[in-house]
Amino acid sequence: MKHADVIIVGAGPAGIAAATAATRHGRSVLLLDDNPKVGGQIWRSGIKAASQHADKREDARRDKVLNALASSSATLLFDYRVFDAPAPRTLHALRETEGGAEAVTLRYERLILATGARERFLPFPGWTLPGVFGAGGLQALVKGGYPVRGKRIAVAGSGPLLLAVAVHLSEQGAQITSITEQAPLAQLMPFVASLWSHPAKILQGIGYRSALRKTPYRTGCWPVSALANEVTGSLESVRFTDGNKTWNEPCDLLACGFHLVPNTELASLLGCTLRGDFVQVNDQQQTSVTNIYCAGEPTGIAGLDAALIQGEIAGLACAGQPTGFLLARNAAEKRFAKRLKSAFRLRPELRLLAAGDTIVCRCEDVTYEELAGRNEWTDAKLQTRCGMGPCQGRICGPATQTLFGWTPKSIRPPLFPVPVSALCSHDSQYDVLQENA
């Protein structure tokens, strides 16, 4: 059992900023994350991740934020994943160990959800081949030591993450064959033009492009299939189209993701109202549940600056401090998020890529044709087991939302697969499982 005035789920930029702000004003803070280190998606490889193309001001900002956390009084808890909220002001989290799993009960006065986002994957023939990765997923593997030196990598899908990933992979010695963005140029131009009010983002974009000046960046094009080598069965090339012509691009790896999807499952479980895909918050980052706050990507995909500002607002609000001096900057980041969403909206052709035998739910091997006859998400789950595997619909859920317009009706615990033994080691409502075991 652990208790803190403020518990923060997610130690990415939003969670770190929230923890630092709340501890600065005397609150006891517990910051937990399911990764082994602080930093979230962008800073997961730690403080010493500077690379030859990295913007030195960005490095300095990251070091400042991480050092402020290190010198704060926040308690850090890593490798723990929150999977349930069994009672008011109570969470259950789990850490997998070599011998099994350890669960912990967490009690809070105020809770800040800073659970970030994940990539959206869309099925197309060959997307499950060895050698096809999520763009951010491959980046995360490489940050963890996966070697890509000398590999030819095609980067495709949608969103600004593609450029960041391509630069990172290139710095690690990969040859980026192309970057392929599904959004047409005309859809992107208003967004690019609006960046005049965010000079740091313009500089970042220019830095990325100059690092990859020899790599083709195609807009209005998308992958239609990934093709395997007949002998090895691994990826050999990717077939792209611009809607008129198609062509094959030989490569060793494909890094492909279609922008980001917010991690809102815990917020939903806690009863927080969603607006569209995102957690609804007020100016103080407070959700519809009085003592629960939310910051960063679950409230709108807006990037690092927004995560840091919103985290700080949430931390200050939890400590009863004024936040007015941050509201104008947050409003500007929210406008940026709206433009980002519009610029990278998905083209309708992407809904038609899957063939009948293309797997949509890769945990349970459910194909497109098995799902095409179903009415909605629950029907599909009941009839095909779609969404019932280890990822609990985190990958196929957003895919079926894009393909068929389905949305999950309810979120139930456990949010992640949890060993029954770990549940039974708890003092809680799970006793019934022990009795029945």
Ligand X SMILES: Cc1cc2nc3c(=O)[nH]c(=O)nc-3n(C[C@H](O)[C@H](O)[C@H](O)COP(=O)(O)OP(=O)(O)OC[C@H]3O[C@@H](n4cnc5c(N)ncnc54)[C@H](O)[C@@H]3O)c2cc1C
The residue ranges that bind ligand X (CB under 6 A) are 9-15, 32-35, 40-42, 81-82, 114-119, 136, 139-140, 161, 164, 260, 263, 266, 296-297, 303-304, 307
Closer Cβ to ligand X, 195 or 228, answer by number: 195
Shortest gap between Cβ of 93 and ligand X (angstroms)? 6
Q: State which residue, 72 or 225, has the beta carbon closest to ligand X.
A: 72
Q: How many CA atoms lie within 13 A of 181 on its CB side?
A: 21
CB of 315 to ligand X, least distance (A): 12
The residue among 91 and 154 lying less far from ligand X, judged by its C-beta, is: 91
SS (H, E, C) 378-416: HHHHHHHCCCCCCCCCCCHHHHHHHHHCCCCCCCCCCCC
CA distance 18 to 13: 9
Task: Give the angle 379-382-385 at the CA atoms, nearest 5°.
Answer: 115
Residue 158: CB minimum distance to ligand X, A: 13
**Which pair of structure tokens corresponds to residue 269?**
């479980």
Count of alpha carbons within 13 angstroms of residue 137, beta-carbon side = 18
Name which of 13 and 123 has its Cβ closer to ligand X: 13
Give the DSSP letter of residue 160. Answer: T
Nearer to ligand X, 64 or 349 (CB): 64
Smallest distance from the beta carbon of 87 to ligand X, in angstroms? 17
Q: What is the largest CA-CA distance in the chain?
A: 64
Smallest separation, CB 384 to ligand X (Å): 26
27 versus 259: smaller Cβ distance to ligand X: 259
Query: What backbone phi and psi angles, to 5 degrees, belong to 241?
Result: -140, 155
241 and 234 in contact (C-beta within 8 Å)? Answer: no
